[in-house]
Amino acid sequence: MISTADLTDPTVRSLVTAINDGDRAAFLRLLTPDATLTDDGTQRNLEEWIDREIFTANGHMDVDTQSADGLALTARFRNDTWGEMRTTWAFTVADGKIGRLETGQA
As a whole number of angstroms, the distance between CA 39 and CA 14 comes to 20
CATH of the domain at 80: 3.10.450.50
The pLDDT-based confidence of 16 (bands split at 50, 70, 90) is very high
Percentage of the chain beyond pLDDT 90 is: 100
Residue 93's identity, in one-letter code, is: V
H or E stretch at 14: helix 10-21
What is the per-residue burial (b if ≥16 Cβ within 10 Å, else e) of 18-37? bbeeeebeebeebbeeebbb
pTM: 0.97
Quick one: average pLDDT of 58-83? 98
The pLDDT-based confidence of 26 (bands split at 50, 70, 90) is very high
Quick one: average pLDDT of 36-40? 97
As a whole number of angstroms, the distance between CA 18 and CA 68 comes to 22
The pLDDT-based confidence of 87 (bands split at 50, 70, 90) is very high
Cβ 66 vs Cβ 3: under 8 Å:
no
Eight-state DSSP code of residue 53 = I
Query: Of the candidates 92, 64, 7, 58, which has an alpha carbon nearest to the alpha carbon of residue 102?
Result: 92
As a whole number of angstroms, the distance between CA 95 and CA 84 comes to 32
How many structural domains is the chain composed of?
1
Task: Domain of residue 15: give its range.
Answer: 4-105
Residue 59, Cβ neighbours under 10 Å: how many? 19
The pLDDT-based confidence of 84 (bands split at 50, 70, 90) is very high
